[in-house]
Amino acid sequence: MESSPENYTEVDNPECLTVEQAIANLKGEDQGLQYYAAWWLGRFRIREPEVIEALIAALDDEANRTELGGYPLRRNAARALGKLGDFRSVPALIACLDCSDFYVREAAVQSLGSLGDRTCIPELMKLLEGGLTVAQPIPGSPHLAQPYNLIIEVLGSLGASEAIDLIEPFLEHSVELLTYSAARAMYQLTQNSIYAERLVQALTGEKLLLRRAALSDLGAIGYLPAAKAIAQTSAENNLKLIALKGLLEHHVKDCSPESWSVSDTAIYLMNLMDNLL
């Protein structure tokens, strides 16, 4: 059975914790409560300066460790800071890119991407050094040495054209998902449709997981010529709608931010969307 990407936002119950309690828990001694509070403060977007400071401090936590040496509290703190959108957390998140725990690095890359601050570009580029030689599967590990797909996506969305030479080799990586991230970033950085067409091609592939990934990438880059292929690929309508929404918003932002008229292209995209509701 394939899991369906439905959202269950209603399940999260904010009433079981108050802001004061969460902050107190984050600064407290109980590791379980600390871990939960870090997640909670991000989930409910508590942007108070006190919260930001406490989460930044939690990025240096040494107490909460897993058996394999991971840092669970640091992971949650890094994820939360990405949701809170405070640029003061950028230097501390950049420092996390050197953490020994893969999942801390992954969370930091993701959050730096959400924050959209270009100062992290040189540090992200360092993580791509060594190219494909370094980026090979590690026996017994569920992931590669670095969260390459996220690193490449963030470099693409930050417009880091200086990273093109480092990203390009990943188009040939043996992990298909990673080649999609590379194609997506290469399109964003060069606007050459040859890269976006690789993603369109992926919509006709055999594996649902890969078609879903290509949908998400095409939506993120807003590649208009993909509209029909998106509407026709075999995947959940939720995902097709999100991808077409990406195209629509890209188009509307590009053409006329102030005028109230709806272009023929926008109408075409919305007709495709209406049929998927």
The interface mask with other proteins, positions 242-271, x = CB under 8 A, is x--x--xx--xx------x-x---xx--x-
The interface mask with other proteins, positions 192-231, x = CB under 8 A, is ----------------x-----------------------
Distance between first and last Cα of the chain: 23
Contact 148, 162 (CB under 8 A): no
What is the rounded CA–CA span in Å between residue 272 and residue 277? 9
6 binds other proteins (CB under 8 A): yes
Least distance between other proteins and beta carbon 74 (Å): 31
Least distance between other proteins and beta carbon 209 (Å): 13
What is the rounded CA–CA span in Å between residue 104 and residue 100? 8
238 binds other proteins (CB under 8 A): yes
> Which amino acid belongs to residue 48?
E
The sign of the torsion formed by the CA atoms of 109, 53, 86, 36 equals: positive
Residues 141, 146, 147, 151, Cα dihedral to 10°: -170
7 binds other proteins (CB under 8 A): yes
Residue 2 or 29 having the CB closest to other proteins = 2
10 binds other proteins (CB under 8 A): yes
Residue in 119, 192, 204, 234 binding other proteins, rule: CB under 8 A: 234
CA 69 to chain centre: 25
Interaction with other proteins in 150-189: which residues (CB under 8 A)? none
Burial of 203 (0-12, 13-18, 19+ CB in 10 A): buried
Assign 88 to helix, strand or coil. Answer: helix
| C-alpha gyration radius of the chain | 20
How many chain residues are in contact with other proteins, going by CB under 8 A? 29
CB neighbours of residue 220 within 10 Å: 20
Least distance between other proteins and beta carbon 183 (Å): 24
Residue 54 or 214 having the CB closest to other proteins = 214
Residue 138 or 267 having the CB closest to other proteins = 267
The residue ranges that bind other proteins (CB under 8 A) are 1-2, 4, 6-10, 208, 234-238, 241-242, 245, 248-249, 252-253, 260, 262, 266-267, 270, 273-274, 277
